[in-house]
Structure 1
Amino acid sequence: MTDLPAGSDLPQERRVVTAIPGPVSQELMARKQAAVADGVGTVMPVFARRAGGGVLEDVDGNSFIDFGSGIAVTSVGNSAEAVVRRATAQLQAFTHTCVMVTPYEPYVEVCERLAELTPGDHAKKSALFNSGAEAVENAVKIARTHTKRQAVVVFDHGYHGRTNLTMALTSKSMPYKHGFGPFAPEVYRVPVAYPYRWLTGPENCAEEAAAQAIDQISKQVGAANVAAIIIEPVLGEGGFIEPAKGFLPRIAEFAKENGIVFVADEIQSGFCRTGQWFACEDEGIVPDLITTAKGIAGGLPLAAVTGRAEIMDSAHSGGLGGTYGGNPVACAAALGSIETMLELDLPSRAKQIEEVMKPRLQKLAQQHGVIGDVRGRGAMLAIELVKPGTKDPNPEATAALAKSCHQQGLLVLTTGTYGNVMRFLPPLVIGEDLLNEGLDILESALTAL
């Protein structure tokens, strides 16, 4: 792995010069608490000043190794040259017309690139939105219009967003759903093949989980009533769960047999993150619809639903859209992000990151009983923390470990239905030296824990 350009003049180094948080961040946090709603939480209480490559610099001059990428958003870095160049040019031309009033070429070009890059060689069309939740919600609208059915099937540990419908689709109550109901109806949840926690063991997981899911759909919902089955090929907020091999193909086959629209939610796993352009390619799955956001535009808000042309065209004219959906500056940024991914071959880069990180994480698991499982693909990796000698979730240790990493200059994120998973999402342009230094910090924090 050779170091790649940072996209800025930001030194690619870790630097801790104050307590974390530093005095300027503390002042800004006091202002935040006075002006910003408490519901907008903060993972690490420092305020960013600059970011690029594999680091994030705060207002106190501390420089953190970035293992979060803004939750898998800045895969090409926080200030990739092509993203900045294209977005700046579009800013100078115009910032908005609303594509539903007077369209513009960047919107069309993004849809053309999505048709080329997403799985399958069938005719495809796209519609662009602002966020992952909007994309998922519109995928449901499209599937319902196409099938003339209402029921939607989702999976244990799944996360799909914070709007009313996507909260209903999401498994985890706190913090995403607690106190915000009632939720949208006609949503049904079935088991997912979670190898580490499958009661009869990982070797039986795929077959048994698929059988249970299909049985519940058939008996409790009725396959003929189901408009869409929605699943993340790698479950993100649920804990970076890779469904056991064979599970996803069987669910996709069941959907096809019963005229159900199969939706791959690739909002966190898409755009090179897992070592392929899209995670569903790992088992050769070609979804009917695929939702994307996060990594698509290098940090600007953009999302998409892409799918079979005949399904995408089911919605009537005016039925899809939104004032800001497919904003021209965000579209320009997406074209710059895709340009960077192609130029630097970022799927291969993600695989190289896995080759560096995963063996070290597995070695740490052998040395520390608090790590129950190491999993993930590409630059979408995780460790699940448990009480040593058991599989009991250990969220307390997870929170303590994250705090220790933060204090030492490593930005990490936690996740998981039980709050006991630490996830690693470094920018795909991070240097190998920073990767290893970040893992050294993690090792030190584990030893102290």
Structure 2
Amino acid sequence: MAPNQESTARTDDVIEKYDEYVMPIAKGYDPFSIERAEGTTMVTADGEEYLDCFSGISVTNAGHNHPAVVDAAKDQLDDLVHTCSYVYRNRPVADLAEKLAEITPGDLQKSFFCNSGTEAVEGAVKLARKYTGSTEVVALEMAFHGRTLGSLALTGNHGYKHGMAPTLNDVTHAPAPYQYRSPYGDCSEEEFAARAAAELERVIGTHTSTDLAAIVVEPVMGEGGIIVPPADYLQRVKDVAHDHGALFIADEVQTGYGRTGDLFACDGAGVNPDILTQAKGIADGLPLGAFTAPAEIADAFEAGDHLSTFGGNPVCCAAALANIDALRDGIVDNAREQGEWLGDRLAALEAEFDRVGETRGTGLMYGVELVDPTDGSGVDGDDSAAPAPTSEAAKAIQTHARDEHDVLIGVGGYHKNVLRFQPPLTIAREELERAVTAIEDGLGTIG
């Protein structure tokens, strides 16, 4: 639909107000304003329709405006919008906490509800410190755990920290399980996992006082570039944590709620975390986060140790309950099935184009790492044989997909050279084909 004068004016008005009144935290916006969305489609004020393959950074897993989620939220709005759920009990919080005890891995039982993934991670670290009586935390290089000062200390990327001064001081970072740019040379997944675990031990031994409370790991590193660790890496990390009297915290803020083809990535990896953090896909777009632990660990918290005014909002919890039912009713299965096809299709691009260094992922969480095939020098501090990354190519293909194919994809990775493919899990095969064709066409245009 061609934009008319009225719709253009609405878009211009939104852009002007953003420029005037919204803090400039984004590096650049797409040149439109989103007015409504449904399923995998977002519609601008000008009436233009886009295939959304980023899901609001991996949030609308059940699709935009899933009818059951919307209805549950509307119904709850009629009854109770807010009461602090840690002052007055209410049914949606009780039911959701029970549901999380049912669906989360292992013996995780008790949950604390908050508003975001950042809050979930910080709360999980507080609980680990209280339970263990220790203070130090190990996270991974290239990891992302949030942008508040505490979670930012865990985040292993200077790009998010520039000009900030994290206040959580007892944090150390170990190398990411990034086999494509492995410093160990060509080795099997099993050998790489063993070396990565040994390096984790070395970091603990040389950079901490071994007063370790927790090791925090994303089962698949989203902002780091969709880095999928070797099969037994997470179990090795958990074993290292327990050897040091620490807890293993799985940050499933981005990987949870079906994103990887299992309800939680830890399910697919066959590892049960001591604490699990959740947000993003938990309520299909409504603001909600949680961290869940076994009763023994959770009960280390005493009254006053932690609180949230809005955490466990009844409307958000009602939406989350409906969302979980929807995900378990075939949507997660679709993510797994479509993801298998997508992995093969992207692997064909890797074989065809020298610009594609590696495609990797699981479920509907895939990355396409773009490189400069003429430059074999890698990057500073990178001893692998992988070609140098190219962020310019990633940005060019992202823009091409948007402008020429009406397909929206993300860009990320430590070097900003990874196309991030994280659509709603309801996406159909023909929509996936359209998205991959957009990437393929973009690769052909940049040479």
Asked if these proteins are the same fold (TM beyond 0.5), I'd say: yes
Distance in structure 2 (CA, Å) of the matches to 1:52 and 1:129? 26
The alpha-carbon deviation at position 258 of structure 1 amounts to: 2.5
**Which residue number corresponds to residue 406 of structure 1?**
402
Is 2:138–2:171's contact at 8 Å kept on the other side of the alignment? yes
Corresponding position of 2:205: 218
**Residue in structure 2 matching 1:395, options 391, 397, 410:** 391
Q: Structure 1 residue 359: deviation in Å?
A: 1.6
Aligned pairs for 1:226-241 within 5 A:
226-241=212-227
1:181 aligns with 2:165: yes
DSSP-derived class of the 1:372 partner: strand
Q: 1:138 & 1:73 partners in 2: Cα distance?
A: 20
**Partners of 1:43 and 1:315 in 2: CA distance:** 42
Q: What is the aligned partner in structure 2 of residue 274 from structure 1?
A: 260
Please, which of 306, 315, 325 is the counterpart of residue 311 of structure 2?
A: 325
CA shift, 1:133, in A, is 0.3
The yes-or-no answer on 1:70 pairing with 2:66 is: no
Name the counterpart of 2:278.
292
With over 3 angstroms needed to count, the CA separation of the structure-2 counterparts of 1:235 and 1:202, relative to structure 1, is farther
Deviation for aligned residue 1:356: 2.8
Residue of structure 1 in register with 2:328 after alignment: 342
1:125 correspondence with 2:110: yes
2:247 aligned with 1:250, yes or no? no
- Render the CA deviation track for 1:92-134: whole Å, top value 9, x for unaligned: 11210111221201011111111111111x3611100000000
TM-score (norm 1): 0.92
Distance 1:25 1:244 in 2: 46
Moved more, 357-366 or 135-144: 357-366
Q: 1:31-89 deviations in whole A, cap 9, x for unaligned?
A: 21011111245542321111111111111111001100111110001111110111001
Aligned 8 A contact 2:108 2:274 in 1:
no
8 Å CA contact 2:54–2:424 kept in 1: the answer is: yes
SS at match of 2:230: coil
Q: Aligned residues: percent identity?
A: 38
Number of the residue aligned with 1:439: 436
Q: CA 1:173–1:123 in 2, change beyond 3 Å: closer, same or farther?
A: closer
1:247 Cα deviation (Å)? 1.9
Which is worse superposed, 373-382 or 183-192? 183-192
Shifted more, 351-360 versus 319-328: the winner is: 351-360
Q: Runs ≥4 in structure 1, deviation > 4 angstroms? A: 15-18, 21-24, 40-43
1:157: how far off? Answer: 1.1
Runs of 5+ in structure 2 lacking a partner?
377-386
Alignment counterpart, residue 61 of structure 1, candidates 42, 47, 54: 47
- Following superposition of structure 1 onto structure 2, how do residues 354-365 of structure 1 map, counting pairs within 5 Å? 354-365=339-350
- Measured in 2, the distance between the counterparts of 1:257 and 1:211 equals 13
Q: Distance in 1 between matches of 2:53 and 2:187?
A: 28
Match of 2:157 in 1: 172
Q: Helix, strand or coil: the match of 2:250?
A: strand
Aligned to 1:352: 337
Measured in 2, the distance between the counterparts of 1:438 and 1:335 equals 31
Corresponding position: 1:195 with 2:191: no
TM-score calculated relative to the size of structure 2: 0.93
The match for 1:84 is 70
Distance 1:381 1:182 in 2: 30
Of 416-425 and 313-322, deviating more is 313-322
Structure 1 residue runs without a partner (length 5+)? 1-14
Query: RMSD value over aligned CA atoms?
Result: 1.7
Distance 2:412 2:400 in 1: 16
Deviation by residue 1:8-33 (Cα, 9 ceiling, x = unmatched): xxxxxxx7879xx9664344212210
Q: CA deviation at 1:192?
A: 2.2
Measured at CA, do residues 165 and 352 of structure 1 come closer, stay the same or move farther in structure 2, by a change above 3 Å? same
